[in-house]
């Protein structure tokens, strides 16, 4: 048999296993002798997953947001951390131009509106921010960047998926726009003032919560999944456990009264109705009189004892439910609940650092497409042009204290000074590096573009001092010149 024929025969065997092999080949663990694993009748295998799309239940989501502080924290925390500040522009525009841009952001409440849109997108699985341009009232037309006049940007109108916005049936089919391909081309919007608009997709910013596969996305009318849906089961378990613990606390200390005649009274033998009523009233009076300064009278044969219960293990159960909720929503215990997870030597720093890294990733993945669309429009409105070198960066999430800022500034600036004094870089390059590091260190923030442009970039030879000698007189400097 030739090599080619042998290869075909081997492939045929691989593609067509025998019926016995097909029935036996299960890529799962099974142990019939102990009735565990795949195919067993154990209770574990009886469990399954059913579709329960909470994202479509508006009232449940709304009531959970209003009634559960955990749901509110899960929804609000990440947007507020992602957008502590508006992104800082990186451009050679004048400092006063940047200040005017920042003033426009504040006057139009753009940052607050974006945080609001992020929250409703996470809560309901979908929200829109409609870009409003003065004088451009036909929102069904495509918004062209060159048509944005100076001073025309007015801000954003936020609507969530349940409060006045319906995606249209026509989808974006432009292959040159793969980022929005397959999404609705138009949105029917009804505002709280009963104004109706047809809005073109170029005028909206979408916030969709957790993403879904295509079929589920179609069921959700091209929105995403609510963040609450991801934590719903863990939240139910935690609420059940917390309610049970609260109920146990009320039973933690019980007073026990021994009554020799209790059996006879409960049996009704020789007990009239009036005697039974008197007995019940006496028990009620005893219960009400047991206070710090109360007086309790008992018969000669009566006795009062206390019965206390311990709650060992409940703290571990509570800590475990906190960790489960935290893992489900992606927010560390120290940030979500304001307490440490309780592990040995746990100070929360490692969890917070992981959380900050996650926020940075979400900024790049979720917010960058939004700001790539919004910032150029705002630049056209403020300056009448989009700078060729326009870029932006998100400010640090973590707020550092003075000592940390000093250590960070020293670590950032020492290499720059070393390179400058070693003759590797010139003064202009050093100033540029110091200004770029100022966003992180908070130092040298007063270095202007004019300072950088006017500085020479000559590199001194090693051994020559780049720093003027303060002891040298002015006459000496002039003679050297």
* Domain assignments of the chain as residue spans, ordered by start: 3-42, 55-230, 253-308, 402-480
Strand order, beta sheet including 204-207: 153-160, 127-133, 204-207
Distance CA 406, CA 394 (A): 21
Which residue from 209, 151, 218, 135 is spatially nearest to 184, judged by alpha carbons? 218
Residues contacting 265, CB < 8 A, separation 6+: 259, 271, 275, 276, 279
Residues contacting 272, CB < 8 A, separation 6+: none
3-state secondary structure of 468: coil
Residues contacting 302, CB < 8 A, separation 6+: 257, 258, 259, 260
Which residue in the block uniquely carries the two structure tokens 């067509």?
Answer: 16
What is the predicted pLDDT for the residue at 286?
72
Distance CA 94, CA 222 (A): 42
Q: What is the mean pLDDT of residues 211-239?
A: 91
Report pLDDT digits (tens) over 344-379.
Answer: 445 557 788 889 889 999 999 999 999 999 999 999
Q: Work out the widest C-alpha separation in the chain, in whole angstroms.
A: 127
CA–CA–CA angle 93, 98, 104 (5° rounding)? 135
Please give the torsion angle defined by the CA atoms of residues 284, 290, 294 and 296, in that order, rounded to the nearest 10 degrees.
70
What is the predicted pLDDT for the residue at 269?
66
Report pLDDT digits (tens) over 18-70.
Answer: 554 445 445 678 888 888 887 788 787 878 888 888 999 999 999 999 999 99
- Is beta strand 186-190 parallel, antiparallel or unpaired with respect to 196-200? antiparallel
Which residue from 235, 188, 207, 186 is spatially nearest to 73, judged by alpha carbons? 235
Which residue from 49, 47, 64, 57 is spatially nearest to 239, judged by alpha carbons? 64
Distance CA 95, CA 132 (A): 26
Q: What is the pTM of this model?
A: 0.74
Distance CA 246, CA 252 (A): 10
What is the predicted pLDDT for the residue at 22?
47
């Amino acid at each position: 048999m030739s090599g080619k024929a042998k290869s075909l025969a081997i492939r045929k065997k691989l593609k067509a296993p025998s019926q016995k092999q097909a029935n036996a080949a299960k890529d799962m663990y099974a142990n019939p002798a102990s009735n565990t694993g795949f195919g067993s009748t154990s209770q574990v295998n009886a469990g399954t997953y059913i579709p329960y799309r909470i994202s479509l239940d508006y009232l449940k989501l709304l009531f959970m947001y209003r009634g559960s502080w955990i749901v509110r924290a899960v929804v609000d925390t990440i947007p507020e951390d992602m957008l502590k500040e508006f992104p800082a522009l990186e451009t050679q525009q004048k400092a006063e131009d940047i200040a005017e841009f920042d003033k426009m952001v504040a006057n139009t409440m753009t940052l607050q509106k974006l945080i609001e849109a992020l929250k409703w997108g996470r809560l309901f699985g979908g929200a829109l921010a409609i870009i409003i341009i003065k004088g451009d009232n036909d929102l069904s037309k495509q918004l062209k960047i060159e048509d944005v006049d100076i001073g025309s940007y007015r801000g954003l109108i936020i609507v969530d998926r349940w409060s006045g916005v319906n995606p249209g049936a026509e989808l974006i089919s432009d292959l040159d726009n793969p980022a929005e391909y397959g999404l609705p081309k138009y949105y029917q919007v009804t505002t709280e003032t009963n104004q109706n608009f047809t809005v073109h997709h170029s005028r909206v910013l979408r916030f969709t919560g957790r993403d879904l596969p295509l079929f589920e996305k179609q069921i959700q009318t091209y929105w995403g999944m609510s963040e609450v849906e991801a934590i719903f089961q863990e939240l139910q378990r935690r609420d059940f456990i917390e309610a049970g613990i609260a109920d146990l606390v009320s039973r933690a200390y019980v007073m026990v009264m021994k009554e020799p005649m209790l059996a006879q009274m409960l049996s009704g033998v020789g007990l009239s109705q009036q005697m039974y009523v008197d007995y019940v009233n006496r028990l009620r009076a005893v219960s009400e009189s047991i206070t710090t300064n109360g007086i309790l009278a008992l018969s000669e044969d009566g006795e009062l004892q206390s019965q206390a219960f311990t709650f060992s293990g409940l703290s571990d159960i509570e800590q475990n439910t906190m960790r489960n909720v935290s893992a489900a929503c992606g927010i560390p215990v120290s940030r979500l609940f304001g307490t440490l997870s309780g592990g040995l030597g746990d100070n929360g720093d490692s969890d917070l650092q992981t959380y900050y890294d996650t926020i940075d990733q979400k900024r790049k993945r979720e917010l960058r497409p939004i700001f790539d669309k919004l910032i150029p429009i705002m630049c056209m409105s403020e300056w009448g042009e989009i700078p060729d070198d326009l870029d932006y960066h998100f400010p640090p999430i973590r707020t550092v204290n003075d000592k940390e800022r000093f250590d960070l500034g020293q670590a950032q600036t020492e290499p720059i000074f070393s390179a400058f004094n070693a003759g590797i870089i010139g003064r202009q390059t050093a100033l540029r590096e110091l200004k770029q590091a100022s966003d992180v260190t908070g130092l040298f923030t007063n270095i202007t573009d004019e300072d950088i442009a006017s500085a020479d970039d000559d590199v001194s030879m090693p051994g020559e001092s780049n720093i003027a000698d303060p002891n040298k007189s002015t006459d000496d400097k002039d003679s050297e010149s």
